[in-house]
Structure 1
Amino acid sequence: MKCLPVAVSSIVSMLLLACVPAANAVSRDITAIFRPDASKPHENVFLNTTPIGGYCQHQPTVCEAKKLSSILLPVTFDSTGPIQANHTDPRKGAMLSVPTQWRELQVIHSETGETETVEFRWAGIGATYRLPVSAPSLVGGGVSNWTAHGRLWGGKTWQSAPAPCQEVGFIGYSDKDFPFIWWTPTDGVCAKKASYAVPSLKYLSVNFAYELRTPNPLKMSSGRYTGSLNYTIGPGQDFDAGDVMIPTDSLLTLNFKLDVEHTLKVEVPPGGNRVELVPQEGWQSWLNSGRKPTRLFRDQRFHISASSRFKMAIECQYISGNTCAMSETDTGHAVPVDVSVTLPDGLMDGAGQPVNRRRLLRDGSGTELFEPSLYVDRRLGMLHFEVGRSSVEAMLDTGATRYTGDVTVIWDSEV
């Protein structure tokens, strides 16, 4: 109960408490996870990990074919009185209407505050209706339970869904109970007219089928995204069972939890962390011909596995402007080293262009965003190191024999 203070004026001032019922609420979690699968690199979608309850628990193949799931709700409905025979107002009998339109909600990253959009819709509704006495006794006896359940509702059992709902299939029944599930392709009232008086009615094991649309996980950061949707239950509400059937709870909150577990792994072959820059034809060609090399370079292979966005940059032992340098120990003479990267197919820049010999700079400019179009699993990439012609000539003119320097290449998933 929620108590509201109400001031009352009289000869003696008083303060009374007017108490009104508070809304009862239930909640359910909708969970999904993205974890890249090397065996299915093109299937970059979330896996729905929500525990299945209700119809899909008993008929998983039907739900899988329609790409649906179902949830069992801790909600029951009880009639406030009898349902009259041949009633003309659907709201005075057995009816169901659920929110079938897609609804959007924002899910928010728990650490970064990034937002993404999830879409959700009700695709079916089910329960078990329970009569106070056996169905044959309500229709006059002498018939089977199946026939009696049909006669009670105009000749067709609740396996047969009233339009605009659609029939799903047979579940089972007893003399008092009849489980049912109806697809709900569009909004509308799905009503059953009683042909005989029904003293009372209950809906037990209420469950609904749903469809879920999740964002592209390749464009999301690792971590958990959360958000919620509220649906009202009761006469005239989102989930409406008419004026006779009243729910035990009036609010349903769906809590969405999407977990993203990305992969970003770079493998360099053994010894690949030690790079020696040499002329095109090797040093022996220069020694034999006396012709100065035009450049010194080395292409270093690496393998990359990536399902997430990342950026790249370099850090340097010796600095030359916005790039790194190599230095001669005795004289301190230094020359710049150009570093660039080529990424495998499936990894693109922020403009959707392939990455071929893209310069890596200390400030990260030009390499602020790379992202996969699919899960890239251990594909070949290349780092390119080069000292240009003028710098090579300067190195040779000094007579020095050894230039060294450390270059750290950074793949950073914190974009």
Structure 2
Amino acid sequence: MTIKAEYNARASTSWQVQFQDTTPQSPICTTASSMCQRRKFTDFPLGTVNYRDMRPDAPREEWLYFRFPSAFREVPVVDSLSGRRAVVKFRVTSYVGRYRTAAPHDYLQFWEYLPFGSAALGPCNLLVGSMNPSDVMWIWDVPVESPQTSCAIKPKTTIPAGTFQIPDGHGVGYELVTPDPRSMRNGTYVGKLDYTIGPGGDFDFGLSALPSRSRIEVAFELKVRADLYVLMADGNRRAVLEPPMGWTAWAAGGAAPQQLRRDLGFEIFVGAPFTVTLSCASAVGDRCTLANGGNSRVPYSVLMTIPGVYNFPAAEPVERMELLVNQPVLMRMFSGYMSNIRSKLHVEARKDSVDEMLKHPGSKYNDVFTLTFNAAL
């Protein structure tokens, strides 16, 4: 069976920086839905368990006995395409069992404690139980403080072999601890964990038990799909250029400004290398230009700052990096998935352009530029 979890990064849910468990729920959740709201249950195909004769004067391990792998185990998971590795932790927290008899009978004839688990010998705590003359279902909680915890129910009298069985259809409640998906690149990470079944094994049904299986392989599959999102407020989509200190000095008779500029803030969510390409309505060569609708056109620059990101192959931080028209720039992150990176565009008209615009008083210069972000998955 497979334990599955996914991380799909979305700007609209950027605060959810954890994997979502997508493992199918156990059918027990249709009858014990309140339990499944507080913990995760799934089916474990541990096989049918039959029993030999069971006597009250026998050792505890020969009663109706259960031992579960309640301690955490670390499981390496690897993305086969990239070879990148991560680690998950997994433990059994609860057990869902079903006791079925060959013929209806009175349970008070057989067992010291009823219903199952309400007073089971050991630290198991009953969560849910139900019974009828030929069938008992129960859910035991297994504390993590007792690794390889065992629980047992003492028979009141000798119970002949073949009187009852635990049919296949076991379920377990479990705890899955996943790594921080922001430290992982896009991919499918897989691993496996082997559990043994039988006396002395991970799932131990006691010395009287005759389990039909000796092992179970649990696969783990973690999918990371961190898409690329760029968020920019509507008010930041218009760059009105002005001198760094405003127009006051020039209006008061000071020197003409050396440059006009405007910074525009945006946020980026990214989990894979990506490219950024600049295009504009008016360009000369590799530079965008501002036009006044007449015969004057001047170049301007679009620069970008994205903390935690570097360009490739130059490996330089993206800090006031100038973009050239129709020349994609490949960028990578210094770490894995990055969320809410507060970034800036710097739009600037430099001295030569300002000098040209001052020759045409009353003119309005404008242009439209576009930045295209593409995830390089």
TM-score, normalising length from structure 2? 0.72
**Is residue 100 of structure 1 aligned with residue 70 of structure 2?**
yes
Q: After superposition, where does 1:329-368 map in structure 2 within 5 Å?
A: 339-341=303-305, 349=308, 358-360=319-321, 368=333
**Is residue 178 of structure 1 aligned with residue 142 of structure 2?**
no
Displacement of 1:96 in angstroms is 0.7
Q: Name the counterpart of 1:162.
A: 120
Q: After superposition, where does 1:6-405 map in structure 2 within 5 Å?
A: 28-36=1-9, 40-65=13-38, 67-73=39-45, 75-79=47-51, 81-87=52-58, 89-136=59-106, 148=108, 151-185=109-143, 186=146, 187-200=148-161, 201-204=164-167, 205-266=169-230, 279-280=243-244, 291-300=255-264, 302=266, 304=267, 306=269, 308=271, 339-341=303-305, 349=308, 358-360=319-321, 368-369=333-334, 376=340, 381-386=343-348, 392=351
Displacement of 1:123 in angstroms is 0.8
Query: Structure 1's 86 and 307: CA in aligned 2 closer, same or farther, altered over 3 A?
Result: farther
SS at match of 2:140: strand
Displacement of 1:179 in angstroms is 1.5
Query: Structure 1's 76 and 131: CA in aligned 2 closer, same or farther, altered over 3 A?
Result: same
CA distance in 1, matches of 2:25, 2:72: 21
Displacement of 1:210 in angstroms is 0.8
CA displacement, residues 316-374 of structure 1 (integer Å, 9 cap, x when unaligned): 9999xxxx8779xxxxxx99957232x6xxxx637xxxxx9933268989974376675
CA distance in 1, matches of 2:371, 2:13: 29
Structural RMSD (CA):
4.5
Query: Structure 1's 282 and 184: CA in aligned 2 closer, same or farther, altered over 3 A?
Result: closer
Matched letter for residue 97 of structure 1: R
Displacement of 1:291 in angstroms is 3.0
CA distance in 1, matches of 2:359, 2:76: 62
Matched letter for residue 385 of structure 1: V
Displacement of 1:102 in angstroms is 0.6
2:183–2:335 Cα contact (<8 Å) kept: no
Query: Structure 1's 163 and 336: CA in aligned 2 closer, same or farther, altered over 3 A?
Result: farther
SS at match of 1:358: coil
CA distance in 1, matches of 2:89, 2:215: 19
Displacement of 1:231 in angstroms is 0.7
CA displacement, residues 51-85 of structure 1 (integer Å, 9 cap, x when unaligned): 111544421322322x3323242611112x21123
Query: Structure 1's 222 and 109: CA in aligned 2 closer, same or farther, altered over 3 A?
Result: same
Displacement of 1:30 in angstroms is 1.1
Matched letter for residue 29 of structure 1: T
What fraction of aligned residue pairs are identical, expressed as a percent? 23
1:310–1:370 Cα contact (<8 Å) kept: no
Query: Structure 1's 203 and 358: CA in aligned 2 closer, same or farther, altered over 3 A?
Result: same
Displacement of 1:47 in angstroms is 1.7
Query: Structure 1's 172 and 50: CA in aligned 2 closer, same or farther, altered over 3 A?
Result: same
CA distance in 2, matches of 1:41, 1:32: 17
CA distance in 2, matches of 1:106, 1:190: 30
Matched letter for residue 92 of structure 1: E
Query: Structure 1's 254 and 261: CA in aligned 2 closer, same or farther, altered over 3 A?
Result: same
Matched letter for residue 61 of structure 2: R
CA distance in 1, matches of 2:318, 2:42: 50
1:84–1:196 Cα contact (<8 Å) kept: yes
2:124–2:151 Cα contact (<8 Å) kept: no
CA distance in 2, matches of 1:408, 1:106: 43
SS at match of 1:240: coil
CA distance in 1, matches of 2:46, 2:139: 17
**Runs of 5+ consecutive residues of structure 2 not aligned to the other structure:** 290-297, 310-316, 361-366
1:312–1:360 Cα contact (<8 Å) kept: no
Displacement of 1:199 in angstroms is 1.0
2:302–2:345 Cα contact (<8 Å) kept: no
CA distance in 2, matches of 1:212, 1:366: 34
CA distance in 2, matches of 1:68, 1:269: 39
CA distance in 1, matches of 2:10, 2:303: 32
CA displacement, residues 250-299 of structure 1 (integer Å, 9 cap, x when unaligned): 111111122223231236789x999896655899x979968342224343
CA distance in 2, matches of 1:296, 1:38: 33
**Runs of 5+ consecutive residues of structure 1 not aligned to the other structure:** 1-27, 137-144, 328-333, 351-355
Query: Structure 1's 191 and 123: CA in aligned 2 closer, same or farther, altered over 3 A?
Result: same
Query: Structure 1's 184 and 75: CA in aligned 2 closer, same or farther, altered over 3 A?
Result: same
Query: Structure 1's 307 and 171: CA in aligned 2 closer, same or farther, altered over 3 A?
Result: farther
1:70–1:209 Cα contact (<8 Å) kept: yes
Matched letter for residue 369 of structure 1: F
